[in-house]
Structures are given as structure tokens and as C-alpha cells.
Chain A
Amino acid sequence: MKQFFIVPALLCCLSVLAQNKADDVKTFTLTNGMKFLVVEDNSIPNANMYLLYRVGARNEHPGITGLSHFFEHMMFNGSKKYGPKEFDRTMEFNGGANNAYTTENVTVYTDWFPSSALEKIFDLEADRIASLTIDPKMVESERGVVLSERSTGLENSPWRMLGEAVNATAFQEHPYHWPVIGYEEDIKNWTKEDLEYYFKTYYAPNNCVVVISGNVKTDEVKRLAQKYMEPIPAQKAADPVHLVEPPQTGERRVTVQKQVATPYMLIGYHTPEARHKDFYALSILSSVLSKGNSSRLYSTLVDKKQLVSNVFTDYSESFDPTLFQIYVVAAKDAKEADIESAIYEEIEKIKKEGITEKELQKIKNQKLMEFYGQIETINGKSNNLGTYELFFGDYKKMFEAPAEYNKVTLDDIKRVANEYFKKSNRTVGVLKANVED
């Protein structure tokens, strides 16, 4: 492969960096199966704790859709030692703040605190993992909060509505079919028993990875982990998700009505999960299409042809095969059919001619800058280490990522474009005001 002059220098820097940083991560696993990753970083006197549970909407079934996300809320509503409201009150009194999020794949709890509060954070987290209280009164009040969360998402973003429709169309058997927030009627109807089963099964220490970065000492983290987390018993592993989406055999289309100025369009292609060999090539392809104003879709659709006002693409880590998504917002007076064919034209060009060496080098340079951005903060470190540990099976893959991207060749890009960007493999969603004409 021919390269630009900056490449040798870049590779050399990368390997040094990777070597140093991967060694900076210390790991240990408790006897109950809870795994810890620790990064000592004293750049600020703060630390964080990210707890990643292998549970998300893909572990649900119709009747309890949205339960993973609802459970994320219930984890803040009281446990044995720290009753209702006490988790947040105690954490904030100690200078800490927290949040949490749920996706199709995982549920992640994030605590940010002055490192002097480390032991208190362990106490708080251990208490809710060991003995959560599921109080029916809290369940009722929390249903209102989640219904408001669902509603405000739909009110403020057309993408939310369109994304749900496209997923429901592209996935007909696999659980990526339903939205993470859940169906409104499921939110209103799940039972205390559903919640109790969920807790026992998925909030087991052996189903969790904990990442701690900041002004801490690994020995101290280990001592606290043994004191607070190790007594929590392991549970039988949850049943694996056995549903597999059958291959799509023809283009699917879906239309949604919402009062919008110009149409929104989302095109999704079935693509593989994070551990698949094509992940890196597809990720590069996503950047080729939409990262920066010199990217193919931006320069053609937004700039030259002025068919759309915004374009972006997304291909993210997942446990099961997922969608590569292209999002566009139509420019005023642009025809949907013209927009769609302009997108396919760009894709066909890549399938036939591939991309240029310079383009590939550009993306590799961009990936390196992204990597720097990820390791610049203690939160970026924890979040990314956790992501790689779960989705790629090993946190070390984070440090190998720049090298993995460097391995991708022009032929790889052309091959994956041909393999996945087929008409029969795509779902096209359109959201617009007038759906009758």
C-alpha cells in the first residue's frame, strides 16, 4: 500500500502511545465475577466510576419492552441502607454527581466525584446492587417520569419517531425491533414481578464491568472492591439472546407523519456487530461518507447539489448485527426521489471505483485525532475502556484500534461497500408533513 509521507511518523507515535497507555490500565476480577479496570490519573483531584451491565432492550420481549430503561430509573429509588432519595442525596452531599443511560445493548451507570469520596461511592453502589428495594409506590411515580421522558423525546426530535419506525421495519424478529424507551402500554403495565426477575438476573456482579479512572490508587480500589462488592453473590448467567434477524430479501419502506417543514429521511443497511472483521472498514466508510465538509455525501448533497441541508451517518458498536444509518434533512423544495438517488449514486461510485488513497489516509488521520480526544479526559478513558471491554471483549482493543484502522485497505472498503450496501438489504424511512399525496 502506498502511503503519504506523514504515515511512518504517525505509526511510530501510535505504537509508543499504545504501549504506554495499555499498560496504564490495571485489572482484577473479584471471586463473584465482577471485573474491574482501573486507570490512575492524577491530572485533576477527581475520579469516576462507570458500571456497565450487559443488559439492554435486546434482553426484553413484547410485554416488557422498555423495562431495561425503566430499571435504570428504579436503581435510584432506594435500597436497604440508603432508602428512597438517599442515593442521590448522599452522593451529592459528598460532592458527587451521577447519571445513567440505557441502549439496545447495555445499561451504564456513571458517577463523578472528588476522589476523597471513593469509599462512599462504593458503599452506595454496593448497597443498590446487593439489596435494591422495589417499592410499588415508587414504581407508579416513576412510570410518570418515564412517560414524560418518552413524550419529550418525541416532541423535540423527529429523528426519534423516524428511527423507531425504521428499526421496527428493518428488524422483524430480533429485539432491536422495539425502542429502548419501550411501548407506551408496556410502560404502564409491567409488574413488580417483572422487575424482581430483571434485578436478580441482570444486576448480578458477574454481569457487570466496573471502570474507575482518576486520582485513585489501584490497591485502594481493590481493597474497597473486596470489602463492598465481593460479598454480593454471583448469579446464574442470563439466558443468551437467541433471536437472529433473518437476512433481508428485498427493500423495505416506511412513512411517518409529523408536522415538519421539510422531509427527514433515514436509510438503514443491515451490517455486522462490533466483533465482526468488517467493523473497522465499515466505520471508515461511515467517515468517508459524512465526516467533515470534504466528505462524499456532504460535498455532493449539501454543497454541490443543495438537495439536503444536513447529512450524517452512524455505525456504532453493538452485540448483534445492527444497521448502518444515513440521515438527511431535505432542503426546501428538493424532491425526495432526487435526494434518494443522489445518495445511491455516491454509494454506487464507491462500490465500483472504491475510494482514493488520500481519502483513506484522511480518515486514518481523523481516527487518530478522535483517539486523542477519547483519552484526554478521565471520563473519556472510562467510557471508552468500558465500551471496548464489553463490545470487543477486551479493553486492550481500544489501544489497538488505531492500528486496526491502519490495517484497512482500499480493497477492504470497496468489498464491504459491495457486500452490505445493496438495495435488497436496505430500509428507507421518510418522515414528512404531507403523507397523503
Chain B
Amino acid sequence: MKRTTLYIVFALAFVCQSFCSFAQTKTAEYKLPGYEKFVLSNGLTVYLMEQHEVPVIHVAAIIPAGAIYDGSQAGLASLTATALKHGTKNYTKTKLEEELDFVGATLNTQATKEYASLSAGFATKDQTRVLPLIKEVLVNPTFDAAEFEKEKKRMLTNLERAKESPRSVMGSYWAAFLYKDHVYANPVTGKVSTVGQLQVADVQKFYQANYIPNGSAIAIVGDFKAKDMKAQISKLFADWKKGTSAQKNLAASVVTAPTGNNVLLINKEDARETTFYIGGVGIKRDNPDYVAIEVVNTVFGGRFTSWLNDELRVNSGLTYGASSRFLPLKNAGTFYISTFTANKTTEPTIDKALEVLNRLHTTGIDETTLQSAKNYVKGQYLPDYETAGQLAGLLTEMFWYGFNESFINSFQTNVDQLTTAKAKEIVAKYFPKDKLQFVLVGKAEEIKKIAEKYGPVTEKQIKADGF
């Protein structure tokens, strides 16, 4: 591969469909395809969008049941989301799987830090068969005790396995190091010590408290008639009981900002390379400068010719890829530079990354580079919202983060309005300059001295429990 999957340039939720027209210099009329939104009497928000290109239907649901509600039971939200498929009032786990597999349908449930989600895809002709199964999973799970024990055992093995790959655990270490005692520090996957203690009753309790229709949304996109679908969905989900107590937003508390540089060094005895993040405080998802920040980050570390990748990969051959990204959540966010390099080139690579960050602050972005980034961002976001599945995901994100199509439809204008002067303000305001946080996974014996150069070092063993 020419580059790694680290280049997740755009997590933005924008969309364009069949009737868009594209012009590079003028503001084009991007419109999200029409959709219908309504709320059932139990509080469940429903989105319907017709898309007839392929005879399939995609469903996405979002439920306020993420890892922020884990409390001291890390991994509880994740295990609950997975256990939704362990059998329902009318279907055993085996029967449910057979039904879905037979028609080639997919149905996945998972938890993220903030919410739980469901996504499903099936052929239009199978809708009356599959939609009731989706309802069963969301509304009538039975949490079979034997299946729960099996799942727990698999989860424990996977937790240990994840530590074999720095890339798969960097995010959890980073969140724990940056968010400290805030609920955003909670590792979605949990940890061996807590997952081992979980009981099926914990999952049932978590489900009762958090899987409530008021506060949840379901989006259905694909080849159907909205009128028929509306009747079908309204009937199916009518008996999902409304939650009585309002859910507390545990993530609303303030995140403590770092007061100086700090380094977390995670020792991995057999590491052949050092994997690291450098960064600090980021932004919330509803930041009004969100689009402008993404354009500036495109210049810094969001594409192949970005300054980071150009310097660390193209000019010096120190790494296969270097990038940066903002990771915004509903109530807070982080920013980080991310790359990896051979043990012996750890120091020059970190130094060069810091040099590039410094250059962003001191030199600023010239007109041509900014224009290039704007063109790039405008040219690349459309294919992210091409399919029914992508559109269903977008609608539930709109629900969760509280934006709507007007934000999407003005995306192009927002990008076009960014000037070099504004870009300079964006850099100063949002890109960390000092009080930097470092997370390094590597062979401590070889890189500890180097780590100490950048700030006070906390050392952990990768094999130790948790993050």
C-alpha cells in the first residue's frame, strides 16, 4: 500500500446525492436528499429516506448507552450491546442468526464511548422478515446466561490479544491519559479485571436503565415507499416502553486541561518500532469552526502531501505514514499527531513532528496551500455519503450531535469562506502549541531516556491490566 489507513481525513457528516452539481470555484448547490422525520409517542425519533438505486434497505439506530455509563464496570456498555443478539423473546440466538444469515442480511450491534448503535442491511424483498428481527433485538432481548458467559470469555481473550498490536490500543491509552477522571477516559473495550467480574444481571440492569426510546433514534434508508415504511415502523416500535427517569449526561462535566508536558511510556518488550501520539485538548463536535478546523488540519496532517507526512515520510523516510486528527465528541475532544518509526529513529522522528507543529504556528499557511486544501476537502467528502448505509449512519449522527441538513448544505460555503487570516486564527486557537501530551508504545529499555526529554514520564507495562 502506498499509505496506511491512518489517513482518516474526514469524519465529517456531509452528504450529496444524485442531483448535486459540482463546481470547484463557485458555491455549488449541495442538498441532502429529502427525508422524513417524526417522533413516536414513546419518544423514539424516526428518519426515513428513499433511495432506489439498489434494491436494498439499511437501518441505523443510535441509543444513549455508551461506555460513559459504565461506572466502575468498564466494558459493560460494550458487552450489553453485543449481548442484544444473544436471543430475544421470540428467537433463540441460533434461530436469530439462521434467519438473518439465510437471507444474506447483516445486523451488528456495538457500543462506542458515547452511545450504542445498531446497523443492518438487507434486500428490499426481505423487509417484512428482517425488520421484526431488528425490533426484537432492540426491544425484547433476553440476555441468555450461557451465551453471556461464552461472550465474556471471548471478550477477555480479545482484550489480551489487542495488547499485541500497539495500533489497536493507542486510542484507549490516549483517552485515559488525556481525560483522566472524566467519563471520556472510560475504555469502550473494558479491561480484564472488570470484564471478568461482569454478570448477566449487570447487563440486564444496564439495558433497563439506558436502552430507552426517548433519547434514541432509528434511520431507515433505501428502496422502499416512505408511506408504507412509516406505517410499518410506527406499528413495530409502538410497544417499546418509554423510559421514566431522565438520563443524566455524565459527560457534561469539565475536562481538566493539562498544565504542562507529560509523557506516558508503555513498555512493550518485543517492540520493533515505537508507535506514538502527540497532542492535547481538541474541540467539541458542535464547534462553529468545525469545517475550518478540518481544512487547516488537512494542510497539517490530513492528507498525503500534508506537512507532517511530507516531512516524516517523503523527505526523510522515517516512517510509512504520519498524520494528525481532531477527535471530537459531544462534550469535549482531543487532537493528536500520530506516527510510528523504528526503535533507533524514535528521537529524530518525535523531534521532526514537533518541528512541523512549530512551523504551523510560526510560519502559517500560504494562499496556494490553503486553496489546495479547500479543493481537496470539497472534492473528497462526497463519496463518504454515497450508499444507503452511509446515509442512515449520517441521519443518526445528525440526531446525536444536533445538527441538520442546513449545516450539510452549507458545507461548500463554509469551506470557501476560509481565508488565510482566518486560518491563522484557527491555528492559534485550536492547535496545541505547548503543554503537549505524549503517549509512546515501544521498548522502554531503548527509548526511556529519549522520552524523558519531553516531560515527566509515567511508565506502564503493556501487559498490565487496563490502560
Query: Taking the nearest CB of chain A, how far is it from the CB of B8, in angstroms?
Result: 12
Q: Which of A114-122, A192-200, A227-235, A245-253 contacts B (4 or more CB under 8 A)?
A: A114-122
Counting chain B residues whose Cβ lies within 8 A of the other chain, the interface size class is: 35 or more
Proximity bits, B147-171, A CB within 8 Å = 1, else 0: 0001001101110110111111000
Measured between beta carbons, the chain A residues less than 8 angstroms from B316 are 141, 144
A92 and B305 contacting across the interface, CB-CB below 8 Å: yes
Measured between beta carbons, the chain A residues less than 8 angstroms from B376 are 92-93, 95-97
Q: When chains A and B are docked, how far (Å) is the Cα of A215 from the Cα of B28?
A: 16
B380 and A331 contacting across the interface, CB-CB below 8 Å: no
Take A262-B160, A292-B97 as given contacts and tell me if A369 and B56 are in contact as well, using a CB distance cutoff of 8 Å. Answer: yes
Query: Taking the nearest CB of chain A, how far is it from the CB of B167, in angstroms?
Result: 5
B18 and A141 contacting across the interface, CB-CB below 8 Å: no
Proximity bits, B302-315, A CB within 8 Å = 1, else 0: 01110000100111
A370 and B157 contacting across the interface, CB-CB below 8 Å: no
Query: Taking the nearest CB of chain B, how far is it from the CB of A14, in angstroms?
Result: 11
Measured between beta carbons, the chain A residues less than 8 angstroms from B272 are 151, 154-155
Q: When chains A and B are docked, how far (Å) is the Cα of A146 from the Cα of B272?
A: 15
B372 and A156 contacting across the interface, CB-CB below 8 Å: no
- Let me know if B425 is at the binding interface, CB within 8 A: no
A145 and B165 contacting across the interface, CB-CB below 8 Å: no
- Let me know if B387 is at the binding interface, CB within 8 A: yes
Q: When chains A and B are docked, how far (Å) is the Cα of A9 from the Cα of B55?
A: 13
Q: Which 5 A-B pairs have the closest CB atoms?
A: A95-B379, A144-B317, A45-B22, A369-B104, A261-B160
Take A45-B22, A73-B2, A99-B1 as given contacts and tell me if A157 and B94 are in contact as well, using a CB distance cutoff of 8 Å. Answer: no
Proximity bits, A252-266, B CB within 8 Å = 1, else 0: 000000111110000
Proximity bits, A365-392, B CB within 8 Å = 1, else 0: 1111110110111110000000000000
Query: Taking the nearest CB of chain B, how far is it from the CB of A249, in angstroms?
Result: 35
Take A117-B379, A294-B98 as given contacts and tell me if A145 and B320 are in contact as well, using a CB distance cutoff of 8 Å. Answer: yes
26 pairs, CB–CB < 8 Å, chain A vs chain B:
A44-B386, A46-B379, A92-B376, A94-B375, A95-B24, A96-B379, A99-B1, A100-B1, A101-B1, A102-B1, A115-B22, A116-B24, A141-B317, A149-B4, A149-B320, A151-B342, A152-B320, A155-B275, A258-B270, A261-B164, A292-B97, A293-B101, A369-B56, A369-B122, A377-B383, A378-B386
A156 and B166 contacting across the interface, CB-CB below 8 Å: yes
A148 and B2 contacting across the interface, CB-CB below 8 Å: no
Q: Which of A23-31, A218-226, A301-309, A346-354 contacts B (4 or more CB under 8 A)?
A: A301-309
B317 and A143 contacting across the interface, CB-CB below 8 Å: yes
B157 and A145 contacting across the interface, CB-CB below 8 Å: no
Measured between beta carbons, the chain B residues less than 8 angstroms from A309 are 153-154, 157-158, 161
Measured between beta carbons, the chain B residues less than 8 angstroms from A302 are 154
Measured between beta carbons, the chain B residues less than 8 angstroms from A140 are 317
A100 and B375 contacting across the interface, CB-CB below 8 Å: no
Within 8 A of A (CB), among B65-83: none
- Let me know if A329 is at the binding interface, CB within 8 A: yes
Interface of B is mostly: mixed
Query: Taking the nearest CB of chain A, how far is it from the CB of B192, in angstroms?
Result: 10
- The closest CB in chain A to the CB of B149 belongs to A306
Take A99-B3, A303-B150, A331-B153 as given contacts and tell me if A46 and B158 are in contact as well, using a CB distance cutoff of 8 Å. Answer: no
Measured between beta carbons, the chain B residues less than 8 angstroms from A291 are 101
- The closest CB in chain B to the CB of A144 belongs to B317
Query: Taking the nearest CB of chain B, how far is it from the CB of A376, in angstroms?
Result: 5
B20 and A376 contacting across the interface, CB-CB below 8 Å: no
Query: Taking the nearest CB of chain B, how far is it from the CB of A16, in angstroms?
Result: 10
Proximity bits, B338-351, A CB within 8 Å = 1, else 0: 00111000000000
Take A141-B316, A156-B167 as given contacts and tell me if A148 and B378 are in contact as well, using a CB distance cutoff of 8 Å. Answer: no
Interface residues of B (CB under 8 A from A): 1-4, 9, 16-18, 20-24, 28, 53-56, 93-94, 97-98, 100-106, 121-123, 125, 150, 153-154, 156-158, 160-161, 163-168, 269-273, 275, 303-305, 310, 313-320, 340-342, 368, 371-372, 375-376, 378-380, 382-383, 386-388
Residue with the highest number of chain B CB atoms closer than 10 Å, among A85, A100, A144, A358: A144
- Let me know if A43 is at the binding interface, CB within 8 A: yes
Measured between beta carbons, the chain B residues less than 8 angstroms from A141 are 314-317
- The closest CB in chain B to the CB of A261 belongs to B160
Query: Taking the nearest CB of chain B, how far is it from the CB of A344, in angstroms?
Result: 23
Counting chain A residues whose Cβ lies within 8 A of the other chain, the interface size class is: 35 or more
A155 and B271 contacting across the interface, CB-CB below 8 Å: yes
Measured between beta carbons, the chain B residues less than 8 angstroms from A1 are none
A155 and B158 contacting across the interface, CB-CB below 8 Å: no
Measured between beta carbons, the chain B residues less than 8 angstroms from A292 are 97, 100-101
Q: When chains A and B are docked, how far (Å) is the Cα of A144 from the Cα of B166?
A: 21
- Let me know if A158 is at the binding interface, CB within 8 A: yes
B273 and A85 contacting across the interface, CB-CB below 8 Å: no
B380 and A259 contacting across the interface, CB-CB below 8 Å: no
- Let me know if A399 is at the binding interface, CB within 8 A: no
Q: When chains A and B are docked, how far (Å) is the Cα of A158 from the Cα of B161?
A: 10
Measured between beta carbons, the chain A residues less than 8 angstroms from B102 are 294, 358, 361-362, 365
B379 and A113 contacting across the interface, CB-CB below 8 Å: yes
B273 and A259 contacting across the interface, CB-CB below 8 Å: no
Within 8 A of B (CB), among A386-409: none
Query: Taking the nearest CB of chain B, how far is it from the CB of A319, in angstroms?
Result: 20
- Let me know if A142 is at the binding interface, CB within 8 A: yes
Measured between beta carbons, the chain A residues less than 8 angstroms from B164 are 158, 258-261
The residue that A44 contacts in the complex, of B4, B16, B157, B315, with Cβ under 8 A, is B16
B101 and A294 contacting across the interface, CB-CB below 8 Å: yes
Residue with the highest number of chain A CB atoms closer than 10 Å, among B55, B386, B388: B386
- Let me know if A40 is at the binding interface, CB within 8 A: no
B16 and A148 contacting across the interface, CB-CB below 8 Å: no
Q: When chains A and B are docked, how far (Å) is the Cα of A390 from the Cα of B387?
A: 26
- The closest CB in chain B to the CB of A6 belongs to B125
Measured between beta carbons, the chain B residues less than 8 angstroms from A373 are 121
Query: Taking the nearest CB of chain A, how far is it from the CB of B127, in angstroms?
Result: 13
A148 and B382 contacting across the interface, CB-CB below 8 Å: no
Residue with the highest number of chain B CB atoms closer than 10 Å, among A113, A114, A158: A114
A152 and B16 contacting across the interface, CB-CB below 8 Å: no
Q: When chains A and B are docked, how far (Å) is the Cα of A148 from the Cα of B2?
A: 12
- Let me know if A88 is at the binding interface, CB within 8 A: yes
B270 and A261 contacting across the interface, CB-CB below 8 Å: no
The residue that A85 contacts in the complex, of B28, B122, B168, B310, with Cβ under 8 A, is B310
Take A43-B386, A141-B316, A144-B316 as given contacts and tell me if A99 and B2 are in contact as well, using a CB distance cutoff of 8 Å. Answer: yes
Take A88-B304, A93-B372, A155-B166 as given contacts and tell me if A376 and B22 are in contact as well, using a CB distance cutoff of 8 Å. Answer: no
Q: When chains A and B are docked, how far (Å) is the Cα of A331 from the Cα of B270?
A: 22
Measured between beta carbons, the chain A residues less than 8 angstroms from B273 are 148, 151-152, 155
- The closest CB in chain A to the CB of B154 belongs to A309
B317 and A156 contacting across the interface, CB-CB below 8 Å: no
- Let me know if A13 is at the binding interface, CB within 8 A: yes
Measured between beta carbons, the chain A residues less than 8 angstroms from B161 are 260-262, 309, 329
Q: When chains A and B are docked, how far (Å) is the Cα of A44 from the Cα of B386?
A: 7
Measured between beta carbons, the chain B residues less than 8 angstroms from A73 are 2
- The closest CB in chain B to the CB of A358 belongs to B102
Measured between beta carbons, the chain B residues less than 8 angstroms from A294 are 94, 97-98, 101-102
Measured between beta carbons, the chain B residues less than 8 angstroms from A97 are 9, 303-304, 376, 379-380
Q: When chains A and B are docked, how far (Å) is the Cα of A156 from the Cα of B275?
A: 10
Residue with the highest number of chain B CB atoms closer than 10 Å, among A158, A303, A309, A329: A309
Within 8 A of B (CB), among A153-195: 154-158
- Let me know if A332 is at the binding interface, CB within 8 A: yes
Measured between beta carbons, the chain B residues less than 8 angstroms from A155 are 165-166, 271-273, 275, 340
The residue that A114 contacts in the complex, of B1, B24, B103, B125, with Cβ under 8 A, is B24
Take A114-B24, A144-B317 as given contacts and tell me if A43 and B18 are in contact as well, using a CB distance cutoff of 8 Å. Answer: yes
Measured between beta carbons, the chain B residues less than 8 angstroms from A367 are 104
Q: When chains A and B are docked, how far (Å) is the Cα of A251 from the Cα of B303?
A: 47
